[in-house]
Amino acid sequence: MDQLLQAIKDSITIGCLYALIALGYTMVYGILKFINFAHSDVVVIGALSTAVLGERMLHKLAPGATAAWYYGPLLLLLAILICSTVAFTVERLAYRPLRRAPRLNVLITAIGVSLLLQNAGQLKFLFGTEPHPVPMLIDQTATIFTVLGVKFRWLDLAIIGTAIIFMVALDYLVFHTKIGRGMRAVSHDTRIASLMGVPVDRIISFTFITGAALAAAGGFLYALRYQTVTQPADTGWALLGLKAFVAAVVGGIGNIRGAVLGALAIACVENFGAAYLHPGYTDVYVFVILILVLLFRPGGILGKAVVEKV
């Protein structure tokens, strides 16, 4: 029972991280119908911004000491501002001029932007190539309660709670606000939305900014959980982005609620596979699930198969 409970707790915690990242992929795809491969690099910028800014703000803090509670929201806000600025700049300079270009051109551009952000982030005056420690914003050992030997920590509650707040806010934004109606109109048909008076360019820019804010929150929570952030070109970041993309595909890419469900499903596959099969093959389990979904339900769990007329 303790192994089962630990796997459930870890699945929910890590699933929330994947969900925040997967939502950025699915929002951009839902509107522009292309995969923004630079999205995972925005997550990296969020995590590194948290580490570097936190290190500079709290450099006088004694090693191992916990920072005051208000530094966490402040660092999260700064990470969101930085990531949103990067995403807006990328959309405005790289993607908007290619709005009517073939999708292959945009896809290649997205890969190029990803490589640009990775290599620019390694410059010494930005983040450099060395790992960055993250100041302790929440005591890693502080426990709320223990069940069957499994500790439920304040850190886990902070990660899950923050992710839920962002996901609920996004759901409300998309389905219960005027700008959300504009986003859904643009995702349905850009030309008709424009004829109906929807400001398409502003809606698309806002979508990129919203996705970047979620990516920044994901990077912030990642830094909070793992306490060390590696350099921008580390292969671990590419794998994190791929898993979040797999989560979006499994849930039904273009479907916001599907991205959350897919993220939780992927996290469950990882953690239950590690607990009951073999811990060394967690990545294999994830990509096997991707292959099975593409073979038997290409639209994803909540997605719909699209029929294109010739």
Calculate what percentage of the chain has a pLDDT beyond 70.
Answer: 96
Calculate what percentage of the chain has a pLDDT beyond 90.
Answer: 62
Q: To the nearest whole number, what is the mean pLDDT of the chain? A: 90
SS (H, E, C) the chain: CHHHHHHHHHHHHHHHHHHHHHHHHHHHHHHHCCCCCCHHHHHHHHHHHHHHHHHHHCCCCCCCCCCCCCHHHHHHHHHHHHHHHHHHHHHHHHHHHHCCCCHHHHHHHHHHHHHHHHHHHCCCCCCCCCCEECCCCCCCCCEEEEECCEEEEHHHHHHHHHHHHHHHHHHHHHHHCHHHHHHHHHHHCHHHHHHCCCCHHHHHHHHHHHHHHHHHHHHHHHHHHHCEECCCCCHHHHHHHHHHHHHHHHHCCCCHHHHHHHHHHHHHHHHHHHHHCCHHHHHHHHHHHHHHHHHHCCCCCCCCCCCCCC
Q: Which residues of the chain have pLDDT under 70?
A: 62-64, 304-310
Residue-wise pLDDT tens digits, 224-256: 999 899 999 898 999 999 999 999 999 998 889
Residue-wise pLDDT tens digits, 85-143: 999 999 999 999 988 888 889 889 999 999 999 999 999 888 989 999 988 888 777 88
The residues spanned by each domain of the chain are: 13-234
pTM comes to 0.91
Quote the pLDDT of residue 63. 67
Quote the pLDDT of residue 167. 93
